[in-house]
Amino acid sequence: MAPSELVTLARRIGLQGLAITDHNAVAGIGEAMSAAGRDFLVLPGIEVSTASGHVLGYGVREVVPRDLSVAETVERITALGGIAVAAHPFRFWSGLGSEALGEARFSAFETSNGRTLRRGNERARERARASKVGETGGSDSHFLDEVARAVTSVDSGMTTADDLLQQLAAGKTHSQGFDRDVSGTLRYVPKAVGEWVVRGMKRI
């Protein structure tokens, strides 16, 4: 979807802002920010494919090389002034999994992901609370009708991207939303498998 369409929809359904976290790319951030203007928050970011699974880099405007270790990826995100979050850590295909989660220090785990099954989100929530880190939610939307299935909320007043990044770094964000349901699975699995085959059976 076009980033400008995403911003338009997010405004209409009442979100205060959104994060642009494309896979291993940052080109969509500028278009989203232009469409947002001054009264809607666009948090720049990226979803990086590490050697073990996906890591979100919030506050990042530069490409972080893919296929690095989890530890090096988190170091690069931090060096760019970003906040590293473990994306859908227990999702089959692209989650880090239990062992890789321990390879780096994350500010938060994504514990409510709109394209992850309930058990995966539950496991992420249990691990985040045991690790005493923050929680984030994300729709992980690849289609407009998936926007806001899961969201991140903050308790304090937040007006800028820097404010939100500080809340993320301090582990003070919360997640809420819906898990992937049957209709979502019927859409997601054929798409994921089809794209995997087209990629030569390589991970995203």
CATH of residue 188's domain is 3.20.20.140
pLDDT of residue 204: 67
Within 13 Å and on the Cβ side, how many CA atoms surround 97? 9
Number of domains in the chain: 1
Q: Tokens 């995100």: give the residue.
A: 77
pLDDT of residue 200: 72
| Residue 146 included in any domain | yes
d(CA 165, CA 65): 22
| Residue 131 included in any domain | yes
Tokens representing 69 are 């270790």
Instruction: Kindly write down the DSSP assignment for every residue of 38-79, as one continuous string.
Output: TSSEEEEEEEEE-SSSEEEEET--SPPPSS--HHHHHHHHHH
| Residue 169 included in any domain | yes
Q: What is the pLDDT of residues 109-119, one digit of tens each?
A: 999 999 999 99
d(CA 70, CA 57): 12
| Residue 40 included in any domain | no
| Residue 64 included in any domain | yes
Domain hosting 110: range is 48-198
Torsion angle defined by CA atoms of residues 176, 164, 59 and 178, in that order, rounded to the nearest 10 degrees: 10
pLDDT of residue 128: 97
Q: What is the pLDDT of residues 22-33, one digit of tens each?
A: 999 999 999 999
* Contact call for residues 127 and 148 (beta carbons, < 8 A): no
| Residue 121 included in any domain | yes
Q: How confident is the model at residue 91 (pLDDT cuts 50, 70, 90)?
A: very high
| Residue 155 included in any domain | yes
pLDDT of residue 203: 65
Measured in degrees and rounded to the nearest 5, phi and psi for residue 145 equal: -75, 0
Q: What is the mean pLDDT of residues 72-77?
A: 98
